[in-house]
Amino acid sequence: QENVIIEVFDIFGIEKSIIINEDELEESYLKLQKVFHPDKFLNLTDKEKKISNVYSSKINELYKSLKNNTKRIDLILEKEGHKIKEIQDTYKNSEILEEIMDIQEEFMLAGDNNKNLVKKKIKKLIHNILIDTEKLYKNKSYDLVSKNNIKLSYLEKILKS
C-alpha cells in the first residue's frame, strides 16, 4: 500500500487560503462525518470499524487545524516548504514582542467594563492581520506570513485569557 499525500483543503473541498469560509468548512466537515463516523459502521467487521475510527479521528483533527487561524497558516506554510517560525523566535524580534506586551498589558489592566472594548480591539487587529497575511501569502512573502502568524498566536491567546 503506497502513501498518498492528500491536500487538507481538498479533503474539505475549500480553497487553500489564509481566510476561509468557516460555514463551508463546517458543512463539509459534517458531510464527511456522516460518511465516516464510527456509528455508521456498527454492523460491520472490526477491521472496517477500526478504519472508520482512524478516518473519523483524522477528519476531526484536520477540521480543528483548519478552523484555527494559526494552525491553518502553519499548514499552508509547511505545504509551501517554508520553515515554521517558533514562538521563541519572537524574543529575537523586539518589535513584535513590544507590540504584544503593550496589548497584553492593556488587556490585563482594563477593568471589567473596558475588557470588552479591548477584546473588540484585539478582534479587529486579528481581522486586519488575517487580511494582510492573505495578501502576503499571495505574494509568496512567507517570512512575513510567518511573522504575522506569531502575532496572531499571541493575540488569540490574549483573547482566550
83-102 pLDDT, tens digit each:
776 655 655 677 888 888 89
Asked if 70 and 152 touch (Cβ cutoff 8 Å), the reply is: yes
Model pTM? 0.85
Q: How confident is the model at residue 24 (pLDDT cuts 50, 70, 90)?
A: very high
Decide if pLDDT at 59 tops 50. Answer: yes
Decide if pLDDT at 5 tops 80. Answer: no
Asked if 42 and 61 touch (Cβ cutoff 8 Å), the reply is: no
Give percent of the chain above pLDDT 70: 91
Euclidean distance between CA atoms 161 and 158, whole angstroms:
5
Euclidean distance between CA atoms 132 and 95, whole angstroms:
17
Three-state SS for 117? helix
Euclidean distance between CA atoms 142 and 57, whole angstroms:
30
Residue 105: all three cell numbers together:
498589558
